[in-house]
Amino acid sequence: MYLRRPGRRRNIFLLSSILISAYYVSPGFAIWPFPPKRFTGNSLVDAGALGLSGDGRVVAFGDFDGDQLLDVLVLGSDQQTLSVHHWNHDSFSFVDAGTFKHPSKVYNIVPGDFTHSGKLDILVMSQSQTNNQLDLTLYPSLPGDGFDVNNPLKLPPSTLSQPIPIDVDGDMKIDLLGLTPSSKDASNNIFQIWQNTWNASSPNPVLFDIQDANFKGQQCTISNPHSNAVVDLDGDCLADVFIVCDDGRGGKTYQIWVNAKDEGFSLSQQGNLPAGTQAISFADIDRDGTIDMIFSTCQSVSSSGVGDNCYINIAYNEQLPLCSSSTESGVKKGVRFCRRPEDLCIADPNFKYDLTDSPSNSNFVKFPLSSLFPSSPSLLVSDTSFSPSLPVSLKLGDANLDGFPDLLIITVSGKDRIPNLVYSVPCAAGVVGCAKDGTGRRGWEVASKDVSSLQTIKDARSLSFIDMDEDGTLDIMVQRSGDDGHGHFLFIQNNFYYDAFFLKAIVLNGACDNGWCYSPNGSERYHPFGVSYSGATYKYTVLDTSGHRSAAQVGQLPQTSYHSLQTPYSFFGLGRTNNYIENLFVGTTIHAPEHYINMEGVIPNSKVVILPSAIEGEAWKRELFLRPGEWIPWVTVTVVVASMLLAIIVFVLHLNEKREDELERRKISHHINFDAL
């Protein structure tokens, strides 16, 4: 009979007590290596206002202090008071970093490095004393922190159609594209360029020089409001221009201008937009490596900005597809019919959008909003709480990291304005957006499980995707009217667990060649991490767990007008993959023979920062930042425990082998060789 020794039992009991005590003591004194989670539950979690207060509204995102954490710019209810709020990682909240007042009513804000200093300036579009025009004012960034509010730069005004930032001449400096009052009065509607001519060393530097845009073709009257965008549409990783126009009869048309670098822009396609078209958004809806269009159309819109009898419309970009096999040449009889994975940035001059609503047109999909929301079939298409009212677009972002962008929509039921998350799902029979037989590109499904934090909101006026604390999940910012007394700001933490990967990327504007910027007196050195610009393009190929290769495309900051609230970086889900990203193409607006680079083997769940160089032959600088996930400590413990177990097994086997060798040696020593006798 075997009896356990009392000393061993006491030792086990003592070790268990120590571990249990270490787990239950307060976090400040615990030796347990895993900090408690800030948010628990596999759901969308109400995170509160995160330090924002008052009755203002967030009008722009930007990394104003260059710490790679997203900050916000808030406009007060008087539409004149501006305040920057920096994100504080330790307190998990926004902290007020300064407030100033603009002398007139503000319509829109565009953060950007207009002075090419490596820090964000603030371009303010505001009410003018002259009718039918916008005053443009720039508040330059200061060498330390904040903005030079005492010496703003007065810029040439524009018409009420808000100009958009664009790099028109390939020097990586931010220009503007729009209409000036003089060009509008001339009745020829010639697009104008606010050419960036800033030279800090000049005694009297001038920021913009007004010029006729180098756009070759019949130009239109830019609509107000509009959905103009700077995004690659023909697939060459070089940003083109999408313009929304007034047709003079109460309808809207569109024009697509293709970028030919030094030769300017040429009119590639134009056509009519469907009746009742609202704001247009751009994304790769079906993950085929091309940028598609998605927008709502409504039969009527009330004075409160509510659209009735609304439809969701998707116009798929018809372009060269990805080759089904990596061994295909992609060319037959001198004609290219597909793109190889290493040739994603080859232009397709025959690309097109076909907005014909016909059963025979598989590249245009239209379905009623009521098929998604039978109980609240009306859609908020205009925010009338702001003056002038703001178009409310369909917000796109990959909330579940499957590689396909999802939707944020505000539906209306009576006086309630309810935010909704709509997932992009594979097509099947009965899925909204798919054919009756279950065929189609993508279907749509309203998120209904564990989303009560969204469904309880009844006064939403604006929705945006935002990655709080840069943890690799797309969260939701809800701006509210405050009618129910719950404040004007609410952040929803996306706390769902997704067995998938993501990638974040940002292309800087080349302000500092060596990756470091210096203040004019040389007293401060800093990274230009906050100075992205409109027009960068990302294309990538990835293999899923079944070995299927797919391509996707993402644009960087394609829209900035009318409070678009798009983040300066690009965020894209990769889906489930067991491999690195095969090819990540990064395109810029530089007018050089090669305006893009191909990065191979990029690690998922990381952030890529690209500093391009306009000098031909000079290598672009690339930095990759990995954010440790919550699973890192568990992996460490698993590795340590596994190593200890393996060491114990090896030690035991070693002892057994040594014992057997000793027994064998003893047997040999007692063996008598009778042949030797």
Answer yes or no: is 250 within a domain.
yes
- Cα distances from 478 to residues 85, 165, 440, 560, 612, in angstroms, run 17, 26, 32, 18, 35
Token code pair at residue 618: 């000079």
Q: For tokens 């939403």, what's the residue?
A: 460
Confidence check: pLDDT of 420 > 90: yes
Confidence check: pLDDT of 28 > 50: no
Report which of 416, 488, 490 is spatially closest to residue 459, judged by C-alpha positions: 416
Strand ranges in 8-120 using DSSP code E only, listed in sequence order: 44-48, 57-62, 71-75, 81-88, 93-101, 106-112
74 shares its domain with 126: yes
Q: What is the spatial distance between Cα 93 and Cα 76, in angstroms, rounded to a whole number? A: 19
447 shares its domain with 578: no
Is 390 within 8 Å of 279 (Cβ atoms)?
A: no
Res 520: pLDDT: 78
**What pTM did the predictor assign?**
0.89
What number of CA atoms fall less than 13 Å from residue 610's CA on the CB side? 27
pLDDT digits (tens, 9 = 90+) for 330-383: 898 889 999 999 999 999 999 999 999 999 999 999 999 999 999 999 999 999
Residue 559 belongs to domain spanning:
517-630
pLDDT digits (tens, 9 = 90+) for 65-108: 999 999 999 999 999 999 999 999 999 999 999 999 999 999 99
Confidence check: pLDDT of 32 > 60: no
538 shares its domain with 471: no
Q: What's the burial of 104, exposed, middle or buried (CB within 10 Å: 0-12/13-18/19+)?
A: middle
Q: Which bin fits 127, alpha (ψ -120 to 50), beta or left (φ > 0)?
A: beta
Answer yes or no: is 138 within a domain.
yes
Res 557: pLDDT: 96
Token code pair at residue 156: 């040439």
Identity (one letter) of the amino acid at 123?
L
- Residue 2 has a CB neighbour count (10 Å cut-off) of 3
Res 563: pLDDT: 97
Q: What is the spatial distance between Cα 520 and Cα 503, in angstroms, rounded to a whole number? A: 35
Answer yes or no: is 321 within a domain.
yes
Q: Kindly provide the b/e burial profile for residues 636-662, where b requires at least 16 CB atoms within 10 angstroms of the residue's own CB.
A: eeeeeeeeeeeeeeeeeeeeeeeeeee
Confidence check: pLDDT of 539 > 70: yes
Confidence check: pLDDT of 647 > 70: yes
Looking at 456, 489, 507, the residue that finishes a domain is 507
Domain containing 264 — which CATH number?
Answer: 2.130.10.10
Q: Is 48 helix (H, G, I), strand (E, B) or coil?
A: strand
233 shares its domain with 376: yes
Q: For tokens 């945006």, what's the residue?
A: 464
CB under 8 Å to 483, separation ≥6 — which residues?
A: 459
501 shares its domain with 523: no
Answer yes or no: is 14 within a domain.
no
499 shares its domain with 523: no
- Residue 264 has a CB neighbour count (10 Å cut-off) of 16
Q: Which bin fits 362, alpha (ψ -120 to 50), beta or left (φ > 0)?
A: alpha
503 shares its domain with 550: no
Token code pair at residue 267: 């009119």
DSSP readout, 392-413? Answer: -PPEEE-TT-SSS-EEEEEEEE
Confidence check: pLDDT of 1 > 70: no
pLDDT digits (tens, 9 = 90+) for 170-194: 999 999 999 999 876 655 668 999 9
Report which of 435, 433, 445 is spatially closest to residue 402, judged by C-alpha positions: 445
Q: What is the spatial distance between Cα 517 and Cα 533, in angstroms, rounded to a whole number? A: 17
Res 630: pLDDT: 63
Answer yes or no: is 606 within a domain.
yes
The count of structural domains within the chain is: 2
Mean pLDDT of the chain: 90
Looking at 507, 539, 563, the residue that finishes a domain is 507
Report which of 538, 567, 569, 234 is spatially closest to residue 403, judged by C-alpha positions: 538
554 shares its domain with 414: no
- Per-residue pLDDT band for 254 (boundaries 50, 70, 90) equals very high
Q: What is the spatial distance between Cα 343 and Cα 354, in angstroms, rounded to a whole number? A: 25
**Region 560-566 average pLDDT:** 96
Q: Sign of dihedral through CA atoms 282, 257, 360, 348?
A: negative
Answer yes or no: is 228 within a domain.
yes
pLDDT digits (tens, 9 = 90+) for 606-637: 999 999 987 777 889 999 998 766 667 778 88
Answer yes or no: is 36 within a domain.
no
Q: Kindly provide the b/e burial profile for residues 20-49, where b requires at least 16 CB atoms within 10 angstroms of the residue's own CB.
A: eeeeeeeeeeeeeeeeeeeeeeebbbbbeb
Cα–chain center distance at 593 = 28
**Region 224-235 average pLDDT:** 97
What number of CA atoms fall less than 13 Å from residue 505's CA on the CB side? 27
Residue 388, preceding peptide bond in cis (omega within 30° of 0): yes
Q: For tokens 């499957």, what's the residue?
A: 402
Answer yes or no: is 19 within a domain.
no
534 shares its domain with 486: no
Residue 225, preceding peptide bond in cis (omega within 30° of 0): yes
Looking at 461, 478, 507, the residue that finishes a domain is 507
What one-character DSSP code corresponds to residue 450? S
455 shares its domain with 527: no
Token code pair at residue 498: 């997704």
Q: What is the spatial distance between Cα 26 and Cα 32, in angstroms, rounded to a whole number? A: 10
Is 589 within 8 Å of 172 (Cβ atoms)?
A: yes
Res 13: pLDDT: 46
95 shares its domain with 119: yes
Is 622 within 8 Å of 608 (Cβ atoms)?
A: yes
Is 193 within 8 Å of 212 (Cβ atoms)?
A: yes
Res 536: pLDDT: 97
Res 6: pLDDT: 43
Mean pLDDT is lowest, of 86-100, 192-206, 267-281, for 192-206
154 shares its domain with 298: yes
Confidence check: pLDDT of 470 > 80: yes
Identity (one letter) of the amino acid at 617?
G
Confidence check: pLDDT of 423 > 60: yes
Confidence check: pLDDT of 19 > 50: no
Confidence check: pLDDT of 31 > 70: no
- Using CA atoms of 18, 23, 26, 32 in order, give the dihedral in degrees to the nearest 10: 100
